[in-house]
């Protein structure tokens, strides 16, 4: 079974239905919430892959994992995925939907990683920088990671600018080893 092809087909079908109903943004939010919960809750994966758990319970749990106000379209879609025995790949379907939605709406995902939290003004400057060099809208996320010691890492689309102290120290260490 090629999970990539199958998940993209399901995601395309869901995006088409959501677009026809004018609910693509709501479904995007639900899928994003589900992916976030799936990554942070290991028990969710166990529950979805467990054949002894009833379909009704899986449907309720997935509905909860998608947020408070899960749409009927999404509930029906998840029920279809359950009926077709594809619940194990729901996270891939959700990720594919997110990618397709971002492509359709020309949304670029940007991320700024710093060692300490930055002010909203600095975050806005980085977001504006990304927006000035990319077409479309920018979804921007700021992460604090003390392990980079200092500096920043800016990522958007397929680009990565690593100006962290950690990477500079690694480069110096490599030169010293030679």
pLDDT digits (tens, 9 = 90+) for 63-103: 899 987 889 999 999 999 999 999 999 999 999 999 999 99
pLDDT digits (tens, 9 = 90+) for 4-14: 899 999 999 99
Question: Where does the pLDDT of residue 2 fall: very low under 50, low under 70, confident under 90, or very high at 90 and above?
Answer: confident
The b/e string for 109-143 (b: 16+ C-beta within 10 A; e otherwise) is ebbbbbbeebeeeebeebbebbbeebeeebebebe
How many CB atoms neighbour CB 71 within 10 A?
A: 18
pLDDT digits (tens, 9 = 90+) for 15-34: 999 999 999 999 999 999 99
pLDDT at 1 over 70: no
Residue 3: the pLDDT is 83
Q: What is the DSSP string of 106-173?
A: TEEEEEEEESS---HHHHHHHHHHHHHHSSSEEEEEEEE-GGG-SEEEEEETTEEEEEEHHHHHHHHH
> Could you give the CA distance from residue 129 to residue 82 in angstroms, rounded to a whole number?
43
Which of the following CATH numbers is that of domain 3-103: 3.40.710.10, 1.10.520.20, 3.40.1280.10, 3.30.700.30?
1.10.520.20
- Is residue 136 within 8 Å of 167, Cβ to Cβ? no
- Annotated domain spans of the chain: 3-103, 107-177
Residue 44: the pLDDT is 92
Tokens matching residue 53: 């758990």
pLDDT at 169 over 90: yes
pLDDT at 149 over 90: yes
> Could you give the CA distance from residue 136 to residue 24 in angstroms, rounded to a whole number?
17
Do the domains 3-103 and 107-177 sit in the same CATH topology, yes or no? no
Mean of the per-residue pLDDT values for the chain?
A: 93
pLDDT at 38 over 90: yes
Instruction: Quote the pTM value.
Output: 0.81
Residue 11: the pLDDT is 97
> Could you give the CA distance from residue 26 to residue 12 in angstroms, rounded to a whole number?
16
Tokens matching residue 57: 């319970």
The closest alpha carbon to 32, from 123, 105, 99, belongs to: 99
Residue 87: the pLDDT is 92
pLDDT, mean of residues 111-125: 95
Instruction: State the CATH class of domain 107-177.
Output: alpha beta
Burial class (CB in 10 A: 0-12, 13-18, 19+), 52: exposed
């Amino acid at each position: 079974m090629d999970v990539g092809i199958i998940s993209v087909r399901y995601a395309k079908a869901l995006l088409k239905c959501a677009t026809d109903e004018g609910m693509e943004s709501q479904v995007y939010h639900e899928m994003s919430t589900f992916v976030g919960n799936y990554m942070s809750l290991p028990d969710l994966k166990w529950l979805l892959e467990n054949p002894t758990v009833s379909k009704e319970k899986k449907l309720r749990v997935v509905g909860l994992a998608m947020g408070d106000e899960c749409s009927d379209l999404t509930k029906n879609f998840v029920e279809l995925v359950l009926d077709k025995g594809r619940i194990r790949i729901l996270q891939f379907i959700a990720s594919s939907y997110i990618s397709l939605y971002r492509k359709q709406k020309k949304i670029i995902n940007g991320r700024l990683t710093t060692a300490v939290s930055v002010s909203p003004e600095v975050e806005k400057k980085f977001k504006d920088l990304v927006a000035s060099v990319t077409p479309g809208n920018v979804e921007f996320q700021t992460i604090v990671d003390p392990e980079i010691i200092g500096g920043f890492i800016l990522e958007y689309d397929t680009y990565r600018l690593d100006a962290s102290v950690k990477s500079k120290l690694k480069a110096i260490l490599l030169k010293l080893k030679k």
